[in-house]
Structure 1
Amino acid sequence: MGSDKRTRLIEAANKLIHQQGFNLTTLADIARESEVPLGNVYYYFKTKEEIGSALIEHRANFYRGMIESWNRLPDPKQRLAALIEMVSGERETLAQSGCPIGSLCQELHKDGGPLADKSASLMAAMLSWAEQQFRLLGKEKESPDLALHVVSVLQGASLLTHTFRQPDLIARETVRLKKWIDSL
C-alpha cells in the first residue's frame, strides 16, 4: 500500500511538473493530484527536492526502457529512427508542455545544485546512446558530433513546437531528420 502511494506521488509529480514546471508545482499540488493527503506526502518525501530526485529517476527508468526496446531493433539506423519517431509521436504533448527532459533540465539548471546535476544525466544518457548508434554505423570520430546534432535538433524542434504551440513543427523536422539518418 505504501509503495502505491509513493508511485502515485511520483506519477502526479511527473505529470504536473511537465505541465507547469518544477518551480510552480507545489507538494500540495502533487498531493491533490495523487489523492494522497498532504501530511502523508512528507512520509515519502521530506522536501520538494526529494520528490524532484525521485522524478528524475522515474524519467530515467522510462527512457532506459525505451532504449532497451529500441536496442532490440536489428539496425542502428532503425534505432535512431525509433527515437525520432517517438519524439514525433509526442508532438501534441510537446506543443502543450514541451519536452519532459529538456524543460526539466533547463529549469533546474537556472538554479543549479544537485537536482540540476542529476537531471543532466537524462540528457547525457540520450547523447551517449545516440553516439553508440553512430559508432555502430562506422562513424567513429564523428559519433559525438552526430549524436549532438540529433539530440540538438530534437530539443530545438521541441522547444519551437512548444513556443509556437504548433505540433507540425516537430513533425516537419523529424521527417527531415529521418531522411538524413537514412542517407548515412
Structure 2
Amino acid sequence: MTNSTRASARGSDKRQRLTAAAARVLHQQGVERTTIADIATAAEVPVGNVYYYFKTKDDLIQAALGEHAGRLAQLTHELDKLPDPIQRLKALVEAWVGQRDVAARYGCPTGTLAVELDKRAEGGLDLEAGRVLRLLLDWAAHQFRELGLPDPDDLALTFVGAYQGMSLLANALRDPEVMTGQGARLTRWLDSLT
C-alpha cells in the first residue's frame, strides 16, 4: 500500500467517523444545541480537521441524513431476505421495538430531525429529511403492494405513522414500554390485513 493510498484510507475513515458521529450527536442533542466541536469530539477527530471534510454545520447535517438513509437501506436490504412481506413488516416492527430505550430518550432519529429542520428558516434540509422518510414509506408500500392489498400507499402511511407516533409518545413520556405495547398492536394490525 502506497503512502497516498494509506492517507486516502485514513481520510475516508475520518469522514465516515464524522458522518456517523453527526448522525448520533444530532439525534441525541438536536440541531441547535450541537456544535461542530461536539461532532468532532464524538468522532475523535481534531475540530480543525472537520472543515477539510465538511465546510459547514449544514454539510454535517446533510451527511447525517445520508447516514440515516444508508442505515435504512441496510436494514431493508436485510429484511428483504425474508420470504414473506408480512414477515418483513413484522421484523421491522421488532427492530423498532428493539430500539425502544433509544426512542424513549431521543425519539426517532429521522423523524425528530425532520421536525427540527422544518422549524429552521434556511436551508431545505427539511426536504432532505422528508426524502429519507419517503424511502421508508416507499419500502413499506412495496410490501403491502406485494401482498396484493388495496391502497398500499395509504397502508404504508398508517404503518410508518404508527411508528412515528409511538416513537414520539415514548420520547415525550420517557417510557420505552409505549414502544413495546404499540409495537404489539401494530403487529396485530398487520395480522388482521391478511
Tell me how far 1:18 sits from its aligned partner.
0.8
| Structure 1 match to 2:110 | 101
Tell me how far 1:180 sits from its aligned partner.
1.1
Tell me how far 1:7 sits from its aligned partner.
1.3
| Structure 1 match to 2:167 | 158
Contact 2:22 2:63 in 1 (8 A): no
Matched to 2:143, the amino acid is Q
Give the structure-1-normalised TM-score: 0.96
Tell me how far 1:48 sits from its aligned partner.
0.5
Matched to 1:115, the amino acid is L
Measure, in 2, the Cα distance between the counterparts of 1:94 and 1:155: 10
Matched to 1:30, the amino acid is I
Matched to 1:131, the amino acid is A
Measure, in 2, the Cα distance between the counterparts of 1:32 and 1:176: 40
Measure, in 2, the Cα distance between the counterparts of 1:167 and 1:10: 27
Are 2:140 and 1:135 aligned?
no
| Structure 1 match to 2:158 | 149
Matched to 1:129, the amino acid is W
Are 2:68 and 1:63 aligned?
no
The sequence identity of aligned pairs, in percent, is 45
Aligned residues: 183
Q: Which has the larger radius of gyration?
A: 2
Tell me how far 1:114 sits from its aligned partner.
2.3
Are 2:50 and 1:76 aligned?
no
| Structure 1 match to 2:47 | 38
Tell me how far 1:33 sits from its aligned partner.
1.5
| Structure 2 match to 1:124 | 134
Q: Unaligned 5+ residue runs, structure 2?
A: 1-9
Counterpart of 1:111 in 2: which secondary structure?
coil
Tell me how far 1:20 sits from its aligned partner.
0.8
Measure, in 2, the Cα distance between the counterparts of 1:147 and 1:35: 39
| Structure 2 match to 1:171 | 180
Measure, in 2, the Cα distance between the counterparts of 1:177 and 1:35: 40
Measure, in 1, the Cα distance between the counterparts of 2:163 and 2:156: 11
| Structure 1 match to 2:99 | 90
- Give the superposed CA RMSD: 1.0
Measure, in 2, the Cα distance between the counterparts of 1:11 and 1:126: 20
Tell me how far 1:32 sits from its aligned partner.
1.5
Measure, in 1, the Cα distance between the counterparts of 2:156 and 2:115: 19
